[in-house]
A = this chain, B = another copy of it.
Amino acid sequence: MTTIRQLEYITAIEEHGGFQAASAACHVTQPGLSAQVRQLEDHLELQLFERGRKPALATVEGLEILRRARGVLTAVADLEEAAHSLRRPLSGRLRLGVIPTVAPFLLPGALKPLRRAHPALRLELYEAQTGDLVEALERGRLDLLLLALEAPLGPAETLALFPDPFLLAVPRGHALAGRKRVRERDLAGEDVLLLDDGHCLRDQALAVCSHAGAHELGDFRASSMTTLVQMVASGAGVTLLPRIAAAPDRDLVLIPFQRPVPQRTIGLAWRHTSPRAEAYRSLGAFFRAPVGRPRG
């Protein structure tokens, strides 16, 4: 079988002009090197060097083999060099999956610092709902997820980043609009607007509503948080808004809950077998909650 070592030996012979000099350069004895050259020649069934000549001379065939041998050796060297540079974990491709109820609120402030801190990191973003993200993670199509940790995440390893409390969003002029704080049971009898199926936020809000005695408005299913907010602002009902999604709005009143505050936990998740786990943990700092709260 052809070996890398054999190729190193024959290129050394060409480079140093002889078996002896080559053996010295390769830190082996001359007979050892000779044996390898012989073995390669036997394997290729081709004479590479003309024997019995003072300055070792490659045959015509040998020159062609030598040319290719150098190509192989540089490819191997490149591979080892690549391994070296890949050892810095926060470089290369990182496929990050983010849920739609987090992405627009956390990513804008996170990406620029992240890129600056780790310029070698090639970040690829995917926005999808929790179920799809978890499956993609398991299948090796994503490396890291940014989502709400309340959802079932399978065997993934996680890092909690911050709690994201829900606020009650009501239209200006609503009966509850003047309140400083609300309790979950204040929701009783309210028409609650929710997101489409598949959003983990929908399930979380639904859990709050159900044991508060509120009922979901059957006809409405918002496909995005923006739509949801606009529908509430137009007086169609009330909704639960995560604080990171809460932006000031003329027609909207956002009221925090009394304790116990219903909330979700934003965090990172990765395959528990991933070799970059520590690197992922260190990325958590970039995805902390935005500083400017919309309201007390």
CB distance from A86 to the nearest CB of B (A): 4
Q: Does A143 contact B (CB under 8 A)?
A: yes
Q: Does A4 contact B (CB under 8 A)?
A: yes
CB-CB under 8 A from A7, the residues of chain B are: 79
| Other contacts beyond A7-B79, A60-B92, A64-B92: 19, CB < 8 A | A1-B4, A2-B76, A3-B3, A3-B4, A44-B84, A45-B84, A46-B87, A50-B140, A50-B271, A57-B273, A60-B93, A60-B143, A68-B75, A68-B78, A68-B82, A68-B275, A71-B273, A72-B79, A75-B75
Q: Does A186 contact B (CB under 8 A)?
A: no
Q: Does A65 contact B (CB under 8 A)?
A: yes
CB-CB under 8 A from A79, the residues of chain B are: 2, 7, 65, 68-69, 71-72
Q: List the B residue with the shortest CB-CB distance to A5.
A: B1
A86 and B65 contact, Cβ closer than 8 Å, known pairs A52-B273, A60-B92, A60-B143:
yes
Once the chains bind, are A86 and B68 in contact (CB under 8 Å)? no
CB-CB under 8 A from A80, the residues of chain B are: 2, 44
- Of B47, B57, B72, B275, the contact of A59 (CB 8 Å cutoff): B275
Total contacting residues, chain A, CB less than 8 A: 45
Stoichiometry, copies per complex = 2
Q: List the B residue with the shortest CB-CB distance to A274.
A: B50
Cα–Cα distance between A84 and B83 once the two chains are bound (Å): 33
Considering the complex, which residues of chain A in the window 69-121 have a beta carbon less than 8 Å from any beta carbon of chain B?
Answer: 69, 71-72, 75-76, 78-80, 82-84, 86-87, 92-94
Considering the complex, which residues of chain A in the window 273-293 have a beta carbon less than 8 Å from any beta carbon of chain B?
Answer: 273-276
Once the chains bind, are A75 and B72 in contact (CB under 8 Å)? yes
Q: List the B residue with the shortest CB-CB distance to A41.
A: B83
Cα–Cα distance between A76 and B72 once the two chains are bound (Å): 6
Q: Does A61 contact B (CB under 8 A)?
A: yes
Give the interface centre of A1, A50, A86, A94 by most chain B CB atoms within 10 Å: A86
CB distance from A12 to the nearest CB of B (A): 15
Q: Does A211 contact B (CB under 8 A)?
A: no
Once the chains bind, are B2 and A46 in contact (CB under 8 Å)? no
Q: Does A250 contact B (CB under 8 A)?
A: no
A46 and B86 contact, Cβ closer than 8 Å, known pairs A57-B140, A143-B60:
yes
